[in-house]
Structure 1
Amino acid sequence: MDSGLAISSPKPYSVITTGSYASKASQHTKKTQIKYNLKRVQQLSLGHRYKCIEGGFAYQECNRKYVVQAVPESSFDSEPHTSNPQIILHSVKDFLATLCTLSYPYAMIGLALCALSSSLLAVEKLSDISLSFFVGVLQAAVPQLFFAIYSNALNQVSDLEIDKINKPHLPLASGQLSLKTVVIIAASFLTLSFWLSWIVGSWPLIWNLVLITSIWTAYSVNVPFLRWKKNPILAAMCMVSSWAFVLPITFFLHMQTFVLKRPIVFPRSLILAIVIMNFFFVGMALAKDIPDVEGDKIYGIDTFAIRIGQKQVFWICIFLFEMAFGVSLVAGATSSSLLVKIITVICLLPHIGCMQL
């Protein structure tokens, strides 16, 4: 509790002009008392503050009153403590934003949609879409999202010098994250993805992770006989094999055999999806190298964009994307279900129109 202390100097005294010895002695004594009182105030602890009020009138030399108010020392220390939660919250937000940049959110969105669409291929009747269906989709999607963080982090570690030229905004290339931190993040999320799949107990999901981990590690890591991204054909095969074959097939089998408890079958809808995704991801494999020509040339990464030119590769990609959407449109429009026809036309025609533009 704050406390107050008042210290007053002796009463005002008159200045004697006659110069008597007694008056001078009295004046000297009073000045000494004032100085002594002031010195005592100055010796108070640093946790106190004081103010001086000065006043005077004719024939008065000084009239001072010192008011000392005690302030608890904890009040000075309380400000850093109150700001600590804000600092922690700000740090967490910054880390999550950096992690988001590290993991390429658009790739994670694609993985989640792939898990959902492939799982829908196993649905035979409306009652199949139940709580267990959505739980099964999450079981397939979440480990894949963790794996995506591993894959992107590993690729950025392997491409550190190239990314300083092609993608200097990335967390590792820009110095936002250290190499050691990114390696720890990659190892942690790979472990989490395998652990979750093992806890779920679905063999299609376990084989999914084994296969795509092998593919994308061979794609990125810079060791003899690997680093497949240096060869344009091997790089395209990595993307097509994982996105067009491994992911849709294993997601479908997880829903078909593990969630819905049905025997293994390969319906025409799954085969059609694989064909469409082959067109699409061959185009994606070519398109991803178009903006990276400068750094790839310096570090010896051979791509079709370097071999035949960026413009030519761009139009090849447009053709492949149109083929993917065109096959989807034809398949949907020729379906026996009116609802499928309507949904297909509504969803795909705008995309094909954008490609033409």
Structure 2
Amino acid sequence: MTVLEIPANGTALRAPGRKDAWSILGADVSEANTAREALEMADLRGWDVRLMGNVTASEVTIHEDGVSATEVKMPDTRATVRTNPRTGATEYLSAVGRKYTPVQIEAYENVLDLARRESGAVFHKAGAYDGGKKFFISMSLPGTVRIGGVDEHNMHLTLFGSHDGSSSNSLHIGPTRLDCGNMQRIIIAGAKHKVSVPHTASALDKLVTLEDELAVLFDWEDAYVREAERMLNTPLTIGQFEKLVTSRDLWPVPTSPTPRTRKNYEERMNILRNLFENAATQESIRGTAWAGWNAIGEYLDHYAKVNSHSVRAARSLSDTGAVTKKKTAAHRHLLALAA
């Protein structure tokens, strides 16, 4: 593969100027030597996330005599709040259940520093998004992963967390593809890609044992390379690709569509075909199942319609949402061809 440029600031090899999800949502913390420094650079320290009382819901009713408000107590629900590190103001984050226990981001500093020392990783990007409800701290692992010797990836070890009860905090391993900036989210059977810390009273005890669980994550890298090279060694025609993308768990052909639905379907198909057949980002892997999977990933990460780039980036980082489900479904279909 001819390297067109050296990636910097989120720029991909064959998609100049394109930012990956890390760069859209996070600050550059590559100069940090410790987790504390990385968190300070990204304004992730000093939040003092805490719980406040019972949540009360209000219902406003308009009637002949005017307007009245009724308050309903929600005894099984409390609110998480934080101190904004820039303004010092108390900010609402989310309503959570009675068992929810806040875990400060600083509690992970020792684990992050240990992972950095043991693996030789360097801090990469860190940031909060969705109004402070979610955050991440990413480290780049040393070396470059090359699928088939040509398709380059950077591997990251990342702490993902939330303060809204939507998910446990967890350490993930996963790659970013340099040619297109794709977040290579994929769930591989039998390969553990994350270790989690729940928001419960046992969270701090779990942190003590988390250090011993990190080693298993590095086995996921071998599984990822193995699965990717199986797809790279499997030919894929445009007809097979079109059948794949119109499967039930991706984008099935609409039945009795409205003109708008039909237009959106055709636009999406045209983009997907072009990404598979013509895009420079598939140049080194053209005509393979691996190109098909990456065309789908590139569409989801960089072309699918959303309200903002930050929403798309957040969606690409998640391993529980629709984007990862579609990438995993495509992987399953393509491996069936490779069998």
Q: TM-score range by the shorter chain?
A: under 0.3
Higher Cα Rg: structure 1 or 2? 1
Query: Structure 1 length normalisation: TM-score?
Result: 0.24
Q: Which has the higher contact order (CA 8 A, sep 6+)?
A: 2
| Between structures 1 and 2, the one with greater helix share | 1
Query: Structure 2 length normalisation: TM-score?
Result: 0.25
| Between structures 1 and 2, the one with greater strand share | 2
